[in-house]
Amino acid sequence: MTSARQLYQHIFKGITVYPEKESQAIAFMLLEHFLRLRNIDVLVDRPVPEGTVQPDWDNIIGRLNDNEPVQHIIGSTEFCGLEFRVSSSVLIPRPETEELVRMVTRDYAEPDQDIEILDIGTGSGCIAIVLARFLPHVKVHAWDVSDEALEVARENARQLIADVEFAKQDMLNVSFPLPGNTQKFDCLVSNPPYVTYSEQEHMRPNVLRFEPHEALFVEDSDPLLFYKAIADFGRHHIKPNGRCYVEINEHFGTETKAVFEERGYQNVEILRDIHGKDRFVRAFWTK
């Protein structure tokens, strides 16, 4: 009879492309997902019941060693304590983005009336859905240019019972204000593409080969392209005393702050992530 520890060792020792601690975490994640075996089951070497249907572990190990993200293999990932479906059409949510969400939920925790938030470039819907779940008094909207990403986001909203209004919109190809649209929001939030193409050489193959480049990269010649579009949109579609929160490239903190200041935003701040890197800009629209 196979034991949990034997399975763990087989998976862990088979993974060759990740550091030891990451390989250990992946092995535990796979056992939890496919067999509902917890870390404690491995530690006490609990037997796997006979007749348990198991996946093709060697195939999974091969996919991992080919740099396919474990989140794609299991089809989901955790974000802010919720389980989100992911695919090659959307970015795998990062811990830094959880910090962005916590910032917004903290600032809008008070149940004011008629608060509306727009998530620009929603991807898997992780930001919008968590905001809708944690701020039930807030109306959440979410936009993306990708039909495939919106399909994933809508499915996540259905599975997580989150009330989010999704729409297809390309922030780089719209007029401001939007024709015929007088709607204004209390808050804009976005994790837009901000990695320059020249930074690819420092990125891991599992990101470069399996995550959508259109959600990751911007041209080196205009690295602040999306922030300019978001800031311009906000000038017409943020209510007085509203706010804008964006995740940023750590190398362009000062420049991103200037984008908002040059467009009339007030009290623009660069905020650091848990690693001490410039990671967010928060700006106020007081007009």
Residue 134's H or E segment, with its range, is helix 126-134
State the chain's mean pLDDT as an integer.
94
pLDDT digits (tens, 9 = 90+) for 88-114: 999 999 999 999 999 999 999 988 778
What is the value of pTM for the model shown?
Answer: 0.93
Long-range contacts of 55-63 (CB under 8 A, 24+ apart): 57/7, 57/10, 57/11, 57/14, 58/14, 60/11, 60/30, 61/11, 61/14, 61/15
What number is the average pLDDT over the span 59-80? 97
Q: Please give the structure tokens belonging to residue 90.
A: 């959307």
Q: Say whether pLDDT at 179 is over 80.
A: no
Phi, psi of 263, deg, nearest 5: -100, 10
CA dihedral of 84, 87, 92, 93, whole degrees rounded to 10:
-30
pLDDT digits (tens, 9 = 90+) for 111-137: 877 899 999 999 999 999 999 999 999
pLDDT digits (tens, 9 = 90+) for 20-48: 999 999 999 999 999 999 999 999 999 98
Do residues 172 and 225 touch, judged by C-beta distance below 8 A? yes
